[in-house]
Amino acid sequence: MWYIQEHRDIAKSCRKLPDHIVKKYELWKNIVGRHGPDKLKEFPGFHDEGLEGERKGERSSRLSLQYRVIYSVERDMVTFGQAAVGRSVRRHGAVGAVTIYVLEITPHEY
């Protein structure tokens, strides 16, 4: 399961962005929300990569030559118990829940 959680300032910054960047961000969210960040590797235009230095542990995807979305991925294991329903017992295993934290959408500094 993939959850996308945006920083509280993302909505405000999206209002200031060009329309084509906001549409590309919505496409990015759709792909990541349905298939996870690994699916971005199939789209070379996003040029998804891990960051280094102060931003180690975060990732960057290209929305255009200028704009990037900066995000991090946190994997949690959610475990469920078992429930008795009638005569049968339903057992639930562990399900990996992954949260994508969108930190910022920013112009790339060259």
The residue-averaged pLDDT of 71-94 equals 52
Half-sphere exposure of 76 (CA within 13 A, CB side): 10
Helix (H, G, I), strand (E, B) or coil at 71: strand
Residue 110 confidence (pLDDT): 60
Q: What is the domain-level CATH number for residue 14?
A: 3.30.2310.20
Domain of residue 21 covers 2-107
Mean model confidence pLDDT for the chain: 81
pLDDT at 92: 41
Decide: 70 and 58 in contact? Cβ < 8 Å: yes
Task: Report pLDDT digits (tens) over 69-82.
Answer: 999 988 764 444 44
Mean pLDDT across 42-59: 92
Q: How many domains does the chain have?
A: 1
Note the pTM of the prediction, 2 decimals: 0.77
